[in-house]
Structure 1
Amino acid sequence: MKEFWDERFKQNEYVYGESPNAFLKSQLTKLPEGKILFPLEGEGRNACYAATLGFKVDAFDFSEAGKKKALELADKKSVVLNYSISKSEDYDFGIEIYDYIVLIFAHLNPAIRPEIHQKIVKALKPNGRVIIEGFHPKQLENNYPSGGPKSLEMLYTAELLKNDFSDLNVLLTEEVETELNEGNYHKGKAFVTRFIGQK
């Protein structure tokens, strides 16, 4: 998989665009600044946006090509990212150090997903929030061409996320059809799951 993502991110253009995810943007503009983590952040569009709002940003991905483009985008936007190279299972999330952790289309292998999600819960400060948007199984069932994993077990329902984050208070959960306009690989009609939980 590392080779797949390195190859994708080596393209000259930002394959998911330079602008932030629309759902994330709608949430971050309502929140006070704080320390925020972006796991599996790829080319950095969401992390850079958070930094422009004054958030202190950590991010990681296992793609060197993704990190390179993220730091180039940060330079372009005159912001600072603390960006690490790591697999999800190897990353030190820490204990109670983040105000927010953001998972935007950060689909995890089901063999490690529950464990990583529990690490995320532990990494949140009291009252900290996790903000998630991911593809729903209907993305595959409807054969939408707007991206996402091609395996049903990698996709997220609201019920799955509520179970994984059962230690959090649910602030928002929805499964909706939407229109994506995020570069060449997330374009067109999509079916997504959104979740916000608070510690």
Structure 2
Amino acid sequence: MSKPTPLKSLIDDTGYKTALSRLSELQRDRDVAQRKCEEIRGQISRLSAVAAKGDELDRRAASLIAGDGGTAATLAQLREELATTQDHARVIERAIQLQQGALEKLRRDVSLEICRQISPQYREIARRIGLAYRELIAAVVAEQQFRIDLQNRWVDHDALVSPVPPGFANAGDVNSAPSRFLLRLVEQHYFSIDDLPAPLKPYVPGPQPAPTIPTKARSQAARQFFG
């Protein structure tokens, strides 16, 4: 087995880390802009209430409470400031959307490169699964043949509890799910054709659809599956 390639994180990629940091900055800027909008709305609400009473002293006091140092900010000025801040907030929100899209694309690209680098290591794991699967199929076929031999000798074999896993009852059939699994391993380049049991080799997917074995020949194929 080759030396394992150290697994990387997305954060290990400088470009992704920088893009993620920029997204966080934009989100903080958006929060600041939204808070400012709320503050201005509060100022407008207070000054509008005072203006309705026509009390200049109260209006200036309300302006002081709002943090304007007692200056006589007009409602028109506040509304203009609110519109400007809201527009800025919309620009930031759009920038966040664009940055999120760019970050997602970068995540896919970096992930693809990481997977490319570790593919030999993963292939070894996948082959271990495939080889174990193949051995399990061979054992199931042997168990089935053992029962057939007992049955041909008129032996009641009900006392033998079957250890066959669910879904493997017809494992010797080249059209079964276990057999198709082995064929997929070849298609995904985890297995070579030589890794397959002989009866499966003609059914490796190619440019043309793989043939389907006739029903009458299935029992015979099962008997010779690992012969």
Give the TM-score of the pair, scaled to structure 2.
0.21
The structure whose residues are more often strand, as a share, is: 1
Tell me which protein shows more helix as a share of its residues.
Answer: 2
